[in-house]
């Protein structure tokens, strides 16, 4: 595939200086695409600015109809798009198709939200005066997205942006350009007016140019903490609105009373599925002493038995790492953890398969200390560490350590413990007897502390970022 930028309703070609290969078989070239410079980003912002007033003034039904049509198209093409997603990103075909269906449902949800946006009427303290609040669109929004959910994250940013009358310039990750391109094509095909949705392809420089552009009223960013820090500096300098969703080092607490089979299944899913490449992955498992050894043995057995392979092979349970760099990082962290005293229980090595790819064995490292780097820094791969604690209070204290605060889970049958954890763990999302990863598409999503910054994404919370409030006083 040769991909183009998409600006003002038309493809805009550029020099095809970047390429994306299939992580499951690196001989396969998935896409070649351009790297947007500041001039291309500027053209996209100019187009979005020109289109914005009319889009904001359109009936909410017009916007709802567009989102509904996008949803219907995504549902109809979920199999083909799911396959492309698996080839481009490396998650399994089932995971890829599931993600496309999720994106479709997000567009459908926000089709409803477009006509549900409302303000309030308040009693004025002055006789004869009426006070009302209205929500108006923010303006031109820049969406900067990562590779690990290459259609769901663009969907959960673009759908509310469009629903509430904003126009969009999106800059997807450089390792997932084809899915973003497919989405841009569908949005245009479904009737978005020229300039309403624009796509600029490229690497970090294109994202930086978008974040810094004075014509962009708000940036919604999902990615690493390091990049998020740069984005917030850039937007703060020009006082643009910003929303950052970043990484996690999500704890899963397993108490001694837990059903072990259930706890192991939860840890396996949260830690290793989707190759551990989820911001909500359970990368730290904190286990009460009484069941620690048995739990680690059973989790290791299940992790070793996972079938790692080509994303399109129906037998595959865990696909490859997304890139050579991500694989190298995963392996480095195994070395760092064992170097600091962790015990490698399973995995730890690169895997060779029939096709040349970025495969890695699911890896479990036991006997780690909360202060070790493996428990403080995000790896973003199929690498899970366990920490032994003597009781619940120690587990909570370990869970609350560190800089992140995205998702936290507990496995227990004790209602009072679950409730105490829910109230006292420092995380934006809490899972009781569920994996830390895996969220509904229609509810707010986000973290606290170093994981997130700004208003929440998704569900009923999404309008906060994508609208501004106007307070109107009116005397008769
Ligand atoms: P990344 O930070 O490397 O890149 C994210 C995006 O930012 C890409 O489009 C990239 O090109 C762009 N970018 C790079 N440099 C930039 C700059 N200076 N200015 C502006 N944009 C720039 O992240 P990634 O490797 O694509 O994704 C993995 C990370 O995303 C992990 O840390 C993961 O936890 C996080 N993530 C978080 C969530 C969440 O909702 N909390 C969800 C998914 C992924």
* pLDDT tens for each residue of 92-150: 999 999 999 999 999 999 999 999 999 999 999 999 999 999 999 999 999 999 999 99
Compute how many other C-beta atoms are within 10 angstroms of the C-beta atom of residue 222.
25
Atom of ligand 1 nearest to the CA of 406: 41
For ligand 1, the distance from its centroid to the CA atom of residue 261, given in whole angstroms, is: 35
Three-class SS of 354-410: CCCCCEECCEEEECCCCCCHHHCCCCCCCEEEEEEECCHHHHHHHHCCCCCCCEEEE
For ligand 1, the distance from its centroid to the CA atom of residue 223, given in whole angstroms, is: 2
146 lines ligand 1 (CB under 6 A): yes
Task: Among 90, 103, 146, 173, say which to mutate for ligand 1: greatest number of ligand atoms within 8 Å of CB.
Answer: 146
* Cα separation values, 405 from 236, 267, 427, 435, 440, Å: 23, 18, 4, 15, 19
Mean pLDDT, residues 395-414 taken together = 98
Q: Which of 150, 204, 153, 197 is nearest to 177 (CA)?
A: 150
For ligand 1, the distance from its centroid to the CA atom of residue 219, given in whole angstroms, is: 13
* pLDDT tens for each residue of 22-63: 999 999 999 999 999 999 999 999 999 999 999 999 999 999
224 lines ligand 1 (CB under 6 A): yes
Closest residue by Cα to atom 9, ligand 1, is 173
Does the structure show a pLDDT above 90 at 376?
A: yes
441 lines ligand 1 (CB under 6 A): no
For ligand 1, the distance from its centroid to the CA atom of residue 173, given in whole angstroms, is: 7
Atom of ligand 1 nearest to the CA of 202: 11
Query: Is residue 346 flagged as an active site residue?
Result: no
Closest residue by Cα to atom 15, ligand 1, is 204
* Cα separation values, 151 from 85, 280, 338, 352, Å: 8, 17, 36, 29
Give 459's DSSP letter: G
pTM over 0.95: yes
Does the structure show a pLDDT above 90 at 476?
A: no
Does the structure show a pLDDT above 90 at 208?
A: yes
Q: Which of 182, 241, 288, 289 is nearest to 468 (CA)?
A: 241
Q: How confident is the model at residue 392 (pLDDT cuts 50, 70, 90)?
A: very high
3-class DSSP state of 141: strand
Does the structure show a pLDDT above 90 at 360?
A: yes
Q: Check if the beta carbon of residue 442 is closer than 8 Å to that of residue 112.
A: no
């Amino acid at each position: 595939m040769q991909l183009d930028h998409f600006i003002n309703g038309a493809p805009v070609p550029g020099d095809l200086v970047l390429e994306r290969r299939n992580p499951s078989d690196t001989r396969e070239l998935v896409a070649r695409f351009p790297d947007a410079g500041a001039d291309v980003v500027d053209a996209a912002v100019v187009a979005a600015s020109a289109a914005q007033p009319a889009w904001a003034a359109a009936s909410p039904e017009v916007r709802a109809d567009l989102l509904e049509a996008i949803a219907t198209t995504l549902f109809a093409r979920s199999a083909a798009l799911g396959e492309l997603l698996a080839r481009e990103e490396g998650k399994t075909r089932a995971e890829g198709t599931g993600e496309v269906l999720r994106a479709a449902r997000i567009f459908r949800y926000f089709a409803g939200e477009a006509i549900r946006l409302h303000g309030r009427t308040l009693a004025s303290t002055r006789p004869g005066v009426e006070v009302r609040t209205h929500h108006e669109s923010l303006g031109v929004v820049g969406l900067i997205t990562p590779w690990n959910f290459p259609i769901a994250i663009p969907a959960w940013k673009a759908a509310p942006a469009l629903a509430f009358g904003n126009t969009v310039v999106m800059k997807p990750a450089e390792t997932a350009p084809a899915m973003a391109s497919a989405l841009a094509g569908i949005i245009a095909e479904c009737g978005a007016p020229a300039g309403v949705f624009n796509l600029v392809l490229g690497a970090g420089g294109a994202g930086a140019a978008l974040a810094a552009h004075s014509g962009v009223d708000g940036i919604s960013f999902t990615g690493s903490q390091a990049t998020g820090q740069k984005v917030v500096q850039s937007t703060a300098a020009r006082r643009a609105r910003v929303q950052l969703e970043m990484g996690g080092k999500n704890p899963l607490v397993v108490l001694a009373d837990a059903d072990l089979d259930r706890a192991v299944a939860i840890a396996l899913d949260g830690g290793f599925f989707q190759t551990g490449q989820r911001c909500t992955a359970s990368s730290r498992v904190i286990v009460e002493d009484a069941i620690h050894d048995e739990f680690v043995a059973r989790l290791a057995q299940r992790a070793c038995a996972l079938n790692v392979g080509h994303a399109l092979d129906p037998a595959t349970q865990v696909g490859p790492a997304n890139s050579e760099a991500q694989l190298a990082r995963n392996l480095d962290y195994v070395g760092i953890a064992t170097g600091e005293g962790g015990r490698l229980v399973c995995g730890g090595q690169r895997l060779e398969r029939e096709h040349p790819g970025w495969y890695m064995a699911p890896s479990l490292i036991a006997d780690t200390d909360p202060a070790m780097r493996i428990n403080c820094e995000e790896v973003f791969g199929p690498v899970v560490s366990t920490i032994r604690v003597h009781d619940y209070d120690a587990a909570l204290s370990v869970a609350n350590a560190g800089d992140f605060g995205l998702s936290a889970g507990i496995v227990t049958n004790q209602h009072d413990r679950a409730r105490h954890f829910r109230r006292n763990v420092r995380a934006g999302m809490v899972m009781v007897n569920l994996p830390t990863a895996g969220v509904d598409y229609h509810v707010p999503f986000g973290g606290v502390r170093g994981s997130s910054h700004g208003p929440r994404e998704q569900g009923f919370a999404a309008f906060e970022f994508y609208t501004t409030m106007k307070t109107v006083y009116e005397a008769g």
